[in-house]
Amino acid sequence: MEAPRDELLTFAVIMEQRLRANDHKTGWANLTNQWLLMRVRQELKELERALKDRSNVHDEAADAANFLMMISDNYAEEQSNAGNQGQTPQGENHE
């Protein structure tokens, strides 16, 4: 695999900063997909407002992306716990 693009690395740093700002919270392992999807929708609305106002766009985009990452991470953990060895965290079948 090639190195991640500079744009991705820059965005990942913002995502990490936003996550660290919330380290005092309990994490996402026990949050349901339905709750996380509700938060994605809320964050997308906040991103729309940020785009309209032309402020905090990077932070709001990172917030939405972080909730999507949480869904993906929880799914990967579920698959691992279920013993589904043929699936990658991205859901691609490599068997």
Render each residue's pLDDT in the chain as its tens digit; 95 residues: 999 999 999 999 999 999 999 999 999 999 999 999 999 999 999 999 999 999 999 999 999 999 999 999 999 999 999 985 555 555 554 44
Give start and end residues of each alpha helix (H) in 1-95.
Answer: 6-20, 33-53, 57-81
Backbone angles phi, psi at 87, to 5 degrees: -115, 140
- With 0-12 / 13-18 / 19 or more C-beta atoms within 10 angstroms meaning exposed / middle / buried, residue 18 is middle
pTM listed for this prediction: 0.83
Q: What is the DSSP letter of 94?
A: -
